[in-house]
Amino acid sequence: MYTCSEWLAQCVRAQSQPLLMRVASMPGSPKSHSRLERAAVASATAVLAVGLIAAGLSPASAATTIDGPVGLGTAASFSVLGATAVTNTGPSVLDGDLGLSPGTSITGFPPGTVLGTTHADAIAAQAQADTGTAYDVAASLSPTSSGLTDLVGMTLTPGVYSGGALTLSGTLTLAGSADSVWVFQAASSLITSSSSSIVLTGGASSCNVFWQVGSSATLGTASTMVGTIMALTSISTGTGTNVQGRLLARTGAVTLDSTTFVQPAGCAAAGVVTSSPTITSGAPTGATLGTPYEFQVTSTGTGTISYTGGGLPPGLTMDSATGTISGTPTSAGTFAVTITADNGAPPPASVTYQFAVRALLAETGTTSTTAAPLALGAVLAGIVLLLVPHHRRRGSPRH
């Protein structure tokens, strides 16, 4: 069995044979060649040892999750909330409040009916601010399924579903329980066809269905929408649309046509958003045998993060609370070290590095880090010393 340094030397010697053969063919004594070869191998070995200090494997992607419904704040009491205008045609019925901010143009009531309170005031302004917060939370969640387009015919369990332009041309079924939460992320628009519908099964509630829409939402004639739509721009409904939820437009108008609203009731408190960790400190620096060592592992993520370091070199330990690797290494070599950061939100961050503990070089008393440039200098100096006498002998006149 080779020691770490012997193994490195053998690798370097194998890769350096062409160079060493050229050195051996140069004029000079065998002893000088031997010294030069040893210096070259020592130099390359030191460089290779330094190069093995750390190479990491990519960690799993961090995830942002929520353990309950998206919090709407004061916007929860509104059936309709617009920014520039709210316009109604026909006998629409709003089960909750009607709000507009910062615009002031609310038309069509009557014939529309508002069973709650109409606000174009500071209360509506606060509801808009809370809608913005809820929109950002919904947009930040990590999808459990992405790339969706038409949701027709699907039966979806609780989760976060994302796509570019989402459509619904028929029936969508949401299967879960009273505590189940669905969040739909549409990067651009949401369009539902005429007579399309969303069906809840297993006790699922409209309280817990959220649609985050990157531009505008359009609901088809006589369609049934379930959940709270938070659209960045505008929302419009076709004639006879039924909404079991809310229509909240952040920067544009809401346009209604004989639309009936059923306000979600008995909704649970907002869930807590948690982001799983991402290790940000990079590869640990290498260590030197018998020399005190310390390296700080850092990470992003919410809540309390605990750290583990599997496979650390003998003499080194990791503080699970702070992520500090410290101690004095007692064995030289290269170790596969797996660093994990976990805050309880899946997935934990885990990265494996090749961690090198360098020994002192016996002949020089220096570490492999400092030996590399010194040995390289010795190689160059040795070549010069060999070439100069040879040059002089060739150039000297014969007597």
- Crossing angle of the two packed helices 30-51 and 17-24, in degrees rounded to 10: 160
At residue 62, the 3 state secondary structure works out as coil
Position 360 scores a pLDDT of 74
Which pLDDT belongs to residue 61? Answer: 64
Characterize 376-385 residue by residue with b for buried, 16 or more Cβ atoms within 10 angstroms of its Cβ, and e for exposed.
Answer: bebbeebeee
Measured CA to CA in angstroms, residue 164 lies from 49, 63, 142, 186 at distances of 49, 20, 15, 5
Please give the C-alpha separations between residue 268 and each of 154, 263, 345, in angstroms, as whole numbers.
26, 14, 21
pLDDT interval class at 246 (50, 70, 90) = very high
pLDDT of residue 5: 41
Residue 47 pLDDT exceeds 70 = no
Provide long-range contacts, Cβ within 8 A and 24+ apart, for 131-135.
131/72, 131/73, 131/75, 131/81, 131/230, 131/248, 131/250, 132/250, 133/71, 133/73, 134/70, 134/71, 134/72, 134/73, 134/75, 134/210, 134/230, 135/212, 135/230, 135/232, 135/250
Please state, in angstroms and rounded to a whole number, the distance separating the CA atoms of residues 339 and 317: 12
Asked if pLDDT for residue 25 goes beyond 60, the answer is no
Q: Lowest-confidence range among 3-7, 209-213, 267-271?
A: 3-7
Higher pLDDT, 267 or 4: 267
Average pLDDT value for residue range 305-323: 97
**pLDDT, position 9:** 43
Closest listed residue to residue 239, CA positions, set 89, 41, 137:
89
Q: Which of 56-70, 91-105, 189-203 has the lowest mean pLDDT?
A: 56-70
Do the Cβ atoms of 261 and 277 come closer than 8 Å?
A: no
The confidence band for 57, taking pLDDT boundaries of 50, 70 and 90, is very low
For 349-380, the DSSP string reads EEEEEEEEEEPBPTTT-SBHHHHHHHHHHHHH
For residue 29, which of 379, 381, 382 has the smallest C-alpha distance?
382
Report which residue type is found at 381.
A
The pLDDT tens digits of the residues spanning 250-303 come to: 999 999 999 999 999 999 999 999 999 999 999 999 999 999 999 999 999 998
pLDDT (average), residues 350-370: 72
Quick one: what percent of the chain has pLDDT higher than 90?
72
- Beta strands of 152-304 (E only): which ranges? 155-156, 159-168, 171-175, 182-186, 190-192, 197-201, 209-213, 217-219, 224-231, 235-237, 242-249, 254-257, 260-261, 273-275, 278-279, 287-288, 293-296, 299-300
Residue 390: pLDDT band (50, 70, 90) is: very low
Would you list the domain boundaries of the chain? 4-62+276-371+383-393, 65-261
- Give which of 263, 269, 234 is closest to 248, Cα–Cα: 234
One CATH from 2.60.40.10, 2.40.50.180, 3.65.10.10, 3.40.50.10300 for 4-62+276-371+383-393: 2.60.40.10
- Where is pLDDT greater, at 382 or 116? 116
Q: What is the mean pLDDT of the segment spanning 153-180? A: 98
* Alpha-helical runs (H) found in 172-290: none
Confidence of residue 123 (pLDDT cuts 50, 70, 90): very high
- Burial status of residue 6 (CB atoms within 10 A of its CB: 0-12, 13-18, 19 or more): exposed
Backbone angles phi, psi at 57, to 5 degrees: -95, 145
Give the model's pLDDT for residue 33: 47
